[in-house]
Amino acid sequence: MKAIDQATIAFSSRSANEGFARAAAACFAAQLDPTLDEVADIKTAVSEAVTNAIVHAYPDRLGQITLRLRLYDGGVLEIQVKDAGVGIPDVEQARTPLFTTGGEERSGMGFTIMESFMDGLKVRSQPGKGTVVTMRKRIARRAGAPK
């Protein structure tokens, strides 16, 4: 399936850039005329994915995070968060609610939150090479919305 629009943004793994990524994703999604709840869902999921990359992919150094946004026919928004960090040795374990490698201050609910706010979530990772989190959300066209 070919994207009808796309944007790619790369930024350093500084915690201040989490808000930038949230805003960028929300602005890109705005062309689908989402509801406020849908925008909040998108921002929350992006926040979790980017925070995971900041905290877990680069625990002791700065690295690069790439946010790739795509729109497909039918109002489908795809968001990809990619890092070249330490990777996840066991993705299934990492997706288990309450599992964390981030210490006591981390809840271990990042992937669970992403799953609950988006329609689809895929996680690919290779230890030592990084992680790619791909999320999809369909934004339903509202009655009376312009085409």
Active-site residues, by number, are: 48, 52, 106
Q: In 3D, which of 15, 12, 38 has the Cα closest to residue 25?
A: 38
The amino acid present at 51, given as its one-letter code, is: T
Please compute Rg for the chain using Cα positions: 15
Q: In 3D, which of 76, 81, 71, 75 has the Cα closest to residue 13?
A: 81
CA distances 111 to 16, 19, 39, 49, 139, Å, are 21, 18, 18, 8, 21
In angstroms, the CA 105 to CA 35 distance is 32
The amino acid present at 116, given as its one-letter code, is: S
CA 66 to chain centre: 10
